Structure 1
Amino acid sequence: MINISMLKIKSNKKAIQKTEVTNTQNTPKKRKSHDEDEVSHNKKSKQSNDSSDSDDEAHEPTLQEVDDSFKPENMKNIETVRQKKRTKHQKIVEVSKQSALKRETSRNIEYLNKWKSSRETWKFEKLRQISIQNHFGSKGAAREYILKKSQEIIDDIDNRLNDTNRKQLLSQKNYLKMGNPRLNQTIVALSANIGALMFGLALGWSAPTSMKMIEKEDYKLIINGVQFGWIVAMMPLGGACSCIFSGILRKYIGTKLTFFVFGFPIVLGYVLLAISSNLSMLMAGRFLIGVSMGCYVYLLPMYVGELASKEIRGALGSLLQIMINTGVLFVFILGHFTSVLVLNIVCGVIPIIFSVGFLFLPETPAMLVTKNKMSDAIISTKFFRGENFDHHKEISEQVAQNQQQRKNFKEIFNVKSTRRAFTIMMILFVFFQMSGINVLLFYSTIIFTEANVALDAGISSMIVAAVQLTATFLATSFVDRFGRKILLVSSYVIICFSLFGISFYFLLNEKGNGVDSISWLPLVSFSAFLIAFSYGMAPVTYILLGEVFSQDAKFYIASTCQVLSFLLTFLLGLFFPMLVDAIKFGYTFLIFAICTFVGTLFVIFFVPETKGKSLSEIQ
């Protein structure tokens, strides 16, 4: 209504202006009458405006008109300034994101194309902006876009590897040749476990050399039993000092360089043993050998576990114990028929071959992902899993696992179940060593010599080593068919009876009673001990170590248990000759038998059954 009034006023003003123009053209005689008419007209106009305003004021909007104005169909086109700005800003941001992603894509594709001419100039790390790593840090549409582009680029790489560029690459570098993935895994695992073979050599070295070094004229040094105990014990002491540091070093330089670095101490150790002129050199040599052994026995299971597929991981994991026992048998045979010098030379050459040869083995995909070498990780995965394997998924899972923040020692042990599992495992490792397994291997020749068995002591040692190796082969076929607890309990029971049998024989022999009729007992008991150890105590203890702890806790728990095992081996190897001198063989083995009996009760009442349960249920 106000707008209508304004239009009327404007029309009146125009009329007045027109009238004024007309009046100026009139004669002076008519001016007076014109003024009178103008005054009259203005009065009428004023009255008309007043009446119009009063009409506008009288026409108020109704309630229905107000309600209609707020209906949705009437509000569609209403948009505030703030809403317009917000919408405009969102559009700008979205366009900017899409533009940035496209720029990153084109830039990284350009980097990837350089791979075609030279692998050295192709840096797969440039892909990280749109790659697997960034995939886990993105959300929504950006995450889907990144994943899609990453998959396209990786597929493009695979296509190139299958064509002429692979031949180009193979001619430029000593690169991995694809083949049967299971065969590749087996060959690499066997090659890597030469380190376990060397651990067996170091473990059994003392048995064939003991009688040649202790008070014998065919060796340049004359060593007594206590001094020889120090020589034996220095190897596990070196292992206790190195197993933790080797894990830290592997994190920074990788598995291959870590094994290469730890190849120097063992070679130097055997050189010292070969040229030794005093007891200190012998002890130093054994300690250096132990430093390398701590690295091998700690890192080899990790390396094989990372390269093996789940279908054959158990079989390849059993290669560690098989190769250790093979090393023990080999050193027993070689040491029996050759001199100590020849034995040291042969044992020193093998680490040189292993350290250099390991550099040509492929690194595991998990380690390459940790080092951000995504291109090599893809190639390594295809080598170990096959051409058609979903390597992108496996690498993505590994990246996600690496990005999980590792808990510290205190946070791990705040969990009650972790503390209980840690206590159980530490006690199991104590009973593991208190069974006397390593003492029997260290001093097997001395034990059979003192037992006056019918066979030669060296031959008897070779027999029990062969029995142990055979039992280890057989154990791999049924260790997963029975419950962990059943295998562990039966193993402890057989070992306990075997130790009681050895103790009984020595007690009779030391008291002067005739033992000719049971001269077979030490050899049979010793063989039964090693069979039970191979199928139960040895594998199941380490299986439990991998099952009862979370991934974050395994790093601390495994290293702690390994250090404890080495320290107990050091103490037993050192004090066994002293203990024998004090209480003789009979009571010494009786102590081992009693400890194993207590261990049997502990396993029955405290160790849980884990077979058939998921890791989350166990933990």
Structure 2
Amino acid sequence: MSSNSRYTEVESLELTGGNREPYRAMEPVNKMRQFMAAFAANLSSFALGSCLGWTSPIMPKLDEASETPLKVLISSTSDEAGWIASLIAVGALVTPFIAGPLADKIGRKYTLLSSTVFFVIAYILMLTVKNVGMIYAGRLIMGFGVGFVMTAQPMYVGEISTDDCRGATGSLMQLFIVGGILYVYAIGPYVSYMALQWACIVLPLVFAVVFFFMPESPYYYASKGQKSETIKALQFLRGQSAAAVQAEAEEIQKTMDEAQATKGTMLDIFKNAGNRKALIISAGLIAFQQLSGINVVLFNSQTIFKNADTGLDPAQATIIVGAVQVIASGITPIIVDRLGRKPILLVSASVMSVGLVALGAFFYIQKFGDESDVAKVLWLPVPALIVYIIVYCTGFGPLPWAVLGEMFPSNVKSIASSMVASTCWILGFFVTFFYPKLDAVGPYIAFWLFGGLCIVAFFFVLFFVMETKGLSLQEIQDKLNGKKE
């Protein structure tokens, strides 16, 4: 039967004798609908990416008298630079505890839309900046927006997706984040400080306009007992009629009724064995994501290439890295539901360690070797970073967030998402804040440390992370709680 075939509700129920399950098989799911909604939601991730990549082109400008809007120059190794890079993490670790409960109260959609307010205010501050304190405030407020996106977006995308698409839609977040990073990498070095702020403020506004027309999560509607709205949302997301989505709507309603009857608290995450296991897996993956040193690379890539003195223009080398991120991140949605989460994460952790150790070796030779030794390895930083970026963007970049979106039951999902998102940014803050101090001593120390932690991440995935490929949300819960099929 053609994928475009459709029956009226009455005709279909007559054809199937009133049984809706054969009807669902006769009226196939339009997967493009859920990808369209996930795409719209991830425009917020594109805006988030522009915030993460912002410091790479901006820090060199703040160190040039002709570029900076400030009265003083800021060196990339100064304490001010450390605060500018890391304050976004401070904001992002606080707001998940607001965004999580808000997602249950006003919905995933409007919580995600709320991030626009923070991003716009932050860039207005950057446009009117007079002193370093205003940059600090702007970066902190950017972090508020980042926290909202990283809490609400995985919840929304995980709940709108069918079982066979959830890995792919959940992986889109990383693709859009690195797309936003490439956006500022490509524009930032070639425009003024002010022009870059205008280029960035457009992104959250575009997201708000596009995502406004997408449906709310059917799980949220079900949690409020709005059965007709649940069905309408599913009709849009599945491209099917009301009769075709009826069985799925009833299943979602049953899940949410059970969740409401056993409304969870933070204590329940630790009391329940399945929830504890989910927390260990999700928080562990997010922790190693940050401890891989990715934010150091993203926030300081232009400075890293400048210090490496490879002969390549630092801005151009950074754009190359950004382009590689986008290409590599586009691979994961294609392969994740075929290969599974765990094999990709294992490859990612092991190869990241190789790239980081090689990068550390270059900086070690640069500091302690003679000129002939350095000349022999001038080629090394760019391929080492590119290898690192490729495997990060196919594994530890997107998959921890995809796993988070599917790992927790509905009654504790918002609380757990808040905890995990905050874990991400607590570690992100410490890594980005202390990197300039390590860089001043010798960047090779930092990169070797990150490489060692990637080796630890490999064994964490090997022994603790379970595979969720092809499993429904309920089957994942059964597996976490040790229930046999």
Same fold (TM over 0.5): yes
2:364 aligned with 1:507: yes
2:256 aligned with 1:402: yes
- Shift in Å, 1:313: 3.1
Contact 2:109 2:217 survives alignment (8 Å)? no
Highest Rg: 1 or 2? 1
In 2, the alpha carbon distance for the partners of 1:393 and 1:587 equals 56
2:123 aligned with 1:265: no
Q: 359-368 or 456-465, which moves further after superposition?
A: 359-368
Contact 2:321 2:386 survives alignment (8 Å)? yes
TM-score (norm 1): 0.67
In 1, the alpha carbon distance for the partners of 2:94 and 2:209 equals 24
- Residue ranges of structure 1 left out of the alignment (5+ in a row): 1-153, 160-178
In 2, the alpha carbon distance for the partners of 1:223 and 1:553 equals 44
Match of 2:435 among 576, 580, 589: 576
- Residue of structure 2 equivalent to 1:598: 456
2:393 aligned with 1:534: yes
- Residue of structure 2 equivalent to 1:415: 272
Match of 2:423 among 559, 564, 585: 564
- Residue of structure 1 equivalent to 2:233: 380
- Shift in Å, 1:611: 5.2
Equivalent position amino acid for 1:455 in 2: L
- Residue of structure 2 equivalent to 1:169: none
Alignment CA distance shift 1:482-1:381 (3 Å): closer
Contact 1:235 1:286 survives alignment (8 Å)? yes
In 2, the alpha carbon distance for the partners of 1:331 and 1:386 equals 36
In 1, the alpha carbon distance for the partners of 2:257 and 2:445 equals 54
- Residue of structure 2 equivalent to 1:486: 343
- Shift in Å, 1:548: 5.4
Q: Percent identity?
A: 31
In 2, the alpha carbon distance for the partners of 1:542 and 1:358 equals 20
In 2, the alpha carbon distance for the partners of 1:612 and 1:251 equals 27
- Shift in Å, 1:216: 4.2
- Residue of structure 1 equivalent to 2:197: 344
2:479 aligned with 1:617: yes
- Residue of structure 1 equivalent to 2:74: 223
Cα offsets for 1:293-352 (capped at 9, x unmatched): 111122112222322333433332222111111111111001021111111112112222
Match of 2:88 among 235, 259, 263: 235
In 2, the alpha carbon distance for the partners of 1:472 and 1:261 equals 26
In 2, the alpha carbon distance for the partners of 1:371 and 1:548 equals 22
Alignment CA distance shift 1:431-1:357 (3 Å): closer
Cα offsets for 1:345-389 (capped at 9, x unmatched): 121122223224433332233223333443333332222223445
- Shift in Å, 1:471: 1.2
- Shift in Å, 1:196: 0.7
- Residue of structure 2 equivalent to 1:49: none
Higher relative contact order (CA 8 A, sep 6+): 2
In 2, the alpha carbon distance for the partners of 1:372 and 1:607 equals 34
Q: CA RMSD in A?
A: 2.7
Match of 2:443 among 561, 582, 585: 585
Give secondary structure in 2 for the equivalent of 1:193.
helix
Q: Count how many residue pairs are aligned between Structure 1 and Structure 2.
A: 445
Contact 1:547 1:618 survives alignment (8 Å)? no
In 1, the alpha carbon distance for the partners of 2:278 and 2:225 equals 34
Give secondary structure in 2 for the equivalent of 1:363.
coil
Alignment CA distance shift 1:487-1:285 (3 Å): same
Contact 1:451 1:522 survives alignment (8 Å)? yes
Give secondary structure in 1 for the equivalent of 2:329.
helix
In 1, the alpha carbon distance for the partners of 2:390 and 2:103 equals 34
Equivalent position amino acid for 1:198 in 2: A
Contact 2:170 2:405 survives alignment (8 Å)? no
Equivalent position amino acid for 2:162 in 1: S
Alignment CA distance shift 1:207-1:255 (3 Å): same
Match of 1:520 among 368, 373, 379: 379
Contact 1:438 1:569 survives alignment (8 Å)? yes
Alignment of 1:356-375 (within 5 A): 356-375=209-228
- Residue ranges of structure 2 left out of the alignment (5+ in a row): 1-7, 14-27
In 2, the alpha carbon distance for the partners of 1:264 and 1:409 equals 28
Alignment CA distance shift 1:238-1:386 (3 Å): same
- Shift in Å, 1:186: 3.0
Match of 1:393 among 224, 247, 255: 247
Q: 366-375 or 339-348, which moves further after superposition?
A: 366-375
Match of 1:277 among 110, 117, 130: 130
Match of 2:354 among 497, 507, 510: 497
In 1, the alpha carbon distance for the partners of 2:107 and 2:254 equals 19
- Shift in Å, 1:480: 3.0
Contact 1:214 1:228 survives alignment (8 Å)? no
Alignment CA distance shift 1:518-1:285 (3 Å): same
Alignment CA distance shift 1:598-1:250 (3 Å): closer
2:469 aligned with 1:469: no
Alignment CA distance shift 1:395-1:336 (3 Å): same
Alignment CA distance shift 1:534-1:275 (3 Å): same
Give secondary structure in 1 for the equivalent of 2:271.
coil
Give secondary structure in 2 for the equivalent of 1:217.
coil
Contact 1:265 1:288 survives alignment (8 Å)? yes
In 2, the alpha carbon distance for the partners of 1:379 and 1:257 equals 17
- Residue of structure 1 equivalent to 2:286: 429
Q: 608-617 or 521-530, which moves further after superposition?
A: 608-617
Q: 322-331 or 363-372, which moves further after superposition?
A: 363-372
In 2, the alpha carbon distance for the partners of 1:211 and 1:197 equals 23
Alignment CA distance shift 1:181-1:467 (3 Å): same
Alignment CA distance shift 1:407-1:283 (3 Å): same
Give secondary structure in 2 for the equivalent of 1:599.
helix
2:179 aligned with 1:326: yes
Equivalent position amino acid for 2:349 in 1: Y
Alignment CA distance shift 1:259-1:537 (3 Å): closer
Give secondary structure in 2 for the equivalent of 1:318.
helix
Contact 1:234 1:570 survives alignment (8 Å)? yes
Alignment CA distance shift 1:199-1:480 (3 Å): same
- Residue of structure 2 equivalent to 1:126: none
Alignment CA distance shift 1:195-1:277 (3 Å): same
In 2, the alpha carbon distance for the partners of 1:322 and 1:458 equals 21
- Shift in Å, 1:551: 4.4
Alignment CA distance shift 1:532-1:379 (3 Å): same
Alignment CA distance shift 1:215-1:572 (3 Å): farther
Alignment CA distance shift 1:543-1:246 (3 Å): closer
- Residue of structure 2 equivalent to 1:199: 48
- Shift in Å, 1:544: 4.3
Give secondary structure in 1 for the equivalent of 2:95.
helix
In 1, the alpha carbon distance for the partners of 2:273 and 2:221 equals 35
- Shift in Å, 1:265: 1.8
- Residue of structure 1 equivalent to 2:16: none
In 1, the alpha carbon distance for the partners of 2:157 and 2:279 equals 24
Give secondary structure in 2 for the equivalent of 1:443.
helix
- Residue of structure 1 equivalent to 2:313: 456
Alignment CA distance shift 1:559-1:516 (3 Å): same
Q: 587-596 or 368-377, which moves further after superposition?
A: 368-377
Equivalent position amino acid for 1:471 in 2: A
Contact 2:356 2:384 survives alignment (8 Å)? yes
Contact 2:328 2:394 survives alignment (8 Å)? yes
Contact 1:610 1:618 survives alignment (8 Å)? no
